[in-house]
Chain A
Amino acid sequence: MTDSPWEYAPAPESRDIANLKPSYRMFVDGAFVDGGGEPLKSINPATEELLTEVSSAAESDVDDAVRAARRAFEHTWSTMPGRERAKYLFRIARLIQERARELAVLESLDNGKPINESRDADIPTAAAHFFHHAGWADKLGYAGYGPDPRPLGVAAQVIPWNFPLLMLAWKIAPALACGNTVVLKPAETTPLTALVFAEICQQAGLPPGVVNILPGAGDVGAALVAHPGVDKVAFTGSTEVGKQIQRSVAGSGKKLTLELGGKAANIVFDDAPLDQAVEGIVNGIFFNQGHVCCAGSRLLVQESIADELLEKLRVRVRTLRVGDPLDKNTDVGAINSAEQLTKITELAASGDAEGAQRWTSPCPLPGRGFFFSPTVFSDVQQSMRIAREEIFGPVLSVLTFRTPAEAIAKANNTPYGLSAGIWTEKGSRILWAAQRLRAGVVWANTFNRFDPTAPFGGYQESGFGREGGRAGLEAYLDV
């Protein structure tokens, strides 16, 4: 949009709202304590400046946290009537809403995601998960798992950096509703909102030990999931780490759910509502800088409309505003870390090397920070790395198909299976395709819609188990 007579003036949200502190401590047994590990340095990915220091856990801290969680499980939480647990969950949900602005700004500072997404998507959906599960806490007998389903015990939960508070809510809300206690390890690069969540647990008067937060790197996560005092492991993150976890818990009797990578197909048939399909494609791959495990990273377009759709898509992508995550007009923020930026850059280069056609949005990028221009590869073939591997960045691979059967075959030709999208005006084709797509979620004429009542989870290397809705309760109940 460089030839426009109208430049939007910066509209930054104040970073003071985040109440950023010079240091943060871990949360064990209801108290903030220093961890035995090397402190983590939290970086603002949009500026590369040091935000704050966070104390991290050592193995002995994992031990303490699991013991605290066990005590809380046995003596207070699992014996408490469901309607009492529900009160705490409702209180937490309301406190998230009350502190929504603070959490949104902090999330954008720590993660690099645009404030309009943290404000309008992440934080409200996190609160919604607590509200939803608060409603289940006293109705577990009606969930279809027997008249009196029991909790599992202590849940070890490890979450990724792409939706730090939202993934926390997906994990903690059902666990607590079902009567489990938790030890959660937030991602190394994005621990801050989890520690503010710990403050919220204190505000809500949650009994000590019910929720414990242990910041740290992969070694802390590994120690946590391998700890013998843990009854349940829930992990969201990369397929590679998911496999390691599966190996580590194998034979231990621990219950496991994994929500891993994806390479979702977004299929556009020739009778699709074209302008809305373009929006759905943009939302599918550029939402949260493409740091979405269910991102629609493979666009499958029917050949007869491919050129036209791509032209419309490029026009639309040019209008995406990339830059300061705290600017309310930013559409695409910063890549979360230098490491991730390197990975995206490397995979995109493989696209060039293997003969795909790269198109990059001409939008200006900030001089500092980790940024990657929205990128669309056309002429992509199934055999290319950019069609097979998860890029986890704002990079779309476009493939074409001629017949519906070919679309399904290509869409399913992936080791993953988390989500898929269908765009057509024909209802019967939606049903036909949805039955054949091997993916946990199939969206029709929309993409990236999340709701606490809808189960979410994968097939094949995208993991197993479901989160959300009635089905999601199973992962935290002895059934």
Chain B
Amino acid sequence: MAQSPTSSELADAVRDDRSLRRFLHGLPGVDQVGLDQRAAGLATRSIKKAAKRWAIDTSISMIDLTTLEGADTEGKVRTLCAKARRPDPDRPDTPQVAAVCVYSDMAATAVRAVEGSGIRVASVATAFPSGRSALAVKLADVEFAVAAGADEIDMVIDRGAFLTGRYGQVFDEIRAVKAACGGAHLKVILETGELATYDNVRRAAWLALLAGGDFIKTSTGKVSPAATLPVTHLMLQAVRDWRDATGELRGVKPAGGIRDTKDAIRYLVAVHEVAGPEWLHPQLFRFGASGLLNDLLMQRRTQLDGHYSGPDYVAVD
């Protein structure tokens, strides 16, 4: 097999369990040392002045502002949505975030709170974060979120099935969820921290793309390690290769652990130089984060005012 598949090979790959397995195991290997080294090297880019301001605004516009706590209340979600609409009330030119991300029982609240803003509502579903439930339950969860008006569904894959080698089962499940999404966009969470090896991450990324995921997402944020730069590089390579094979553009969402502007810029550099400039858009790249927004806002003010004002000048919501 040629290393990067053609579209007929892709069609062939999903014919049955055996061909799926053959395909995923035929993907080029990932050399861990090399990937880590490349990610570390690219992270030394020095982004200054206008380039930094552009990066900050672009990062804000790519955020899925997230609250995924057992203690979430409607009030908490409404507060989050207000922040999503006007991240920095003193500076109306601050971009809005891309989406708010909540549990499915909070989707309806979020939908009402962001109405008319153009901000999308993403709901985690499919027995998030472990994914351990019957398929019927997972699908019901998705249908519930979609009925509540969620624009995007963040599903988790069954890592147990994946690690056992039951790729067909994972594939079928993603397919079924995609069908249940209707018009909603599907983000497939690979939970890369539990997949353990880069080879597994690459296979899981391709599996999610083959099954129709609109986005591949690193983590739930509930497992450590969550998003890392090397894993994000790997997923950016996967969507780039997918584009080369099919012409289709799919997105990438690192989630968990991205806390400050410096970090966000490192991810944007990777988007820019690994996948390519086309991916520098909220339609194709998102940050799953809650704390990141405030650091971006503080840095934005520092860039515009020429001095640092401190955390009390941005809302803690």
Hey, which bits of chain A sit against chain B, CB under 8 A? 1, 3-11, 116, 120, 270-276, 279-280, 304-305, 308, 315, 319, 328-329, 425, 445-446
Contacts and interface: CB of A to CB of B under 8 A. Distances in A.
B219 to A, nearest CB: 21
A11 B44 contact: no
A458 B50 CA distance: 48
Contact of B48 (A3, A4, A6, A10): A10
Contacts of B48: 8-11
Given A273-B29, A273-B30, A8 B2 contact: no
26 contacts: A1-B272, A1-B273, A4-B277, A4-B280, A5-B277, A5-B280, A6-B272, A6-B280, A7-B51, A8-B45, A8-B48, A8-B51, A9-B51, A270-B3, A271-B28, A272-B28, A275-B34, A276-B38, A279-B34, A279-B38, A305-B3, A308-B2, A315-B276, A328-B44, A445-B31, A446-B33
Contacts of B308: none
B49 A9 contact: yes
A275 B276 CA distance: 15
Contact of A305 (B2, B29, B46, B272): B2
Contacts of A308: 2-4
B38 A274 contact: no
Given A8-B47, A329-B45, A276 B280 contact: no
Nearest to B44: A116
A3 to B, nearest CB: 6
A315 B237 CA distance: 12
Contact of B44 (A4, A7, A10, A120): A120
A315 B236 CA distance: 14
Given A5-B277, A304-B2, 7 more contacts: A3-B277, A6-B58, A8-B51, A9-B50, A116-B44, A279-B34, A308-B2
A56 to B, nearest CB: 37
B52 interface: yes
Interface string B273-288: 1001100100000000
Contacts of B35: 275-276
B45 A1 contact: no
Interface residues of B, number: 31
A101 to B, nearest CB: 14
Contacts of A328: 44-46
B54 interface: yes
A368 B50 CA distance: 25
Nearest to A319: B273
A95 B277 CA distance: 43
B272 A274 contact: no
Interface string B245-271: 000000000000000000000001000
B81 interface: no
A276 B30 contact: yes
Main secondary structure of the interface of B (DSSP, over half): helix
Contacts of B268: 6
Contacts of B44: 116, 120, 328
A8 B48 CA distance: 7
B125 interface: no
Contacts of A329: 45-46
B55 interface: yes
Contacts of B34: 273, 275-276, 279-280, 445-446
B216 to A, nearest CB: 16
B46 A6 contact: no
Contacts of B3: 270, 274, 305, 308
Contacts of B29: 271-273, 425
B281 to A, nearest CB: 9
Contacts of A272: 28-29
- Which 8 residue pairs are nearest across A and B when measured between Cβ atoms? A276-B34, A11-B46, A4-B277, A273-B31, A328-B46, A276-B31, A274-B28, A9-B49
Nearest to A445: B31
A7 B269 CA distance: 11
Nearest to A425: B29
Nearest to B54: A6
Of the candidates A8, A9, A328, A445, the one having the most CB atoms from chain B within 10 angstroms of its own CB is: A8
B245 to A, nearest CB: 11
A4 B37 CA distance: 25
A354 B101 CA distance: 60
A275 B237 contact: yes
A305 B28 CA distance: 11
Contacts of A11: 46-48
Contacts of A274: 3-4, 28
Contacts of A304: 2
A249 to B, nearest CB: 41
Contacts of B33: 445-446
B66 to A, nearest CB: 25
B119 to A, nearest CB: 22
A3 B277 CA distance: 8
B61 to A, nearest CB: 12
A271 B3 CA distance: 8
Nearest to A309: B3
A322 to B, nearest CB: 14
Nearest to B268: A6
A271 B55 CA distance: 37
A319 B41 CA distance: 14
A9 B3 CA distance: 36
Interface in B163-194: none
Contacts of A315: 276
B28 A6 contact: no
A275 B198 CA distance: 12
B33 to A, nearest CB: 7
A308 B6 CA distance: 11
B243 to A, nearest CB: 11
A265 to B, nearest CB: 19
A77 B34 CA distance: 43
Nearest to A312: B4
B116 to A, nearest CB: 28
Contacts of B28: 271-275
Contacts of B58: 6
Contact of B55 (A4, A6, A276, A319): A6
A221 B132 CA distance: 73
A6 B2 contact: no
Nearest to A424: B29
A24 to B, nearest CB: 30
A345 B28 CA distance: 36
B271 to A, nearest CB: 9
A11 B4 CA distance: 36
Contacts of B272: 1, 4, 6
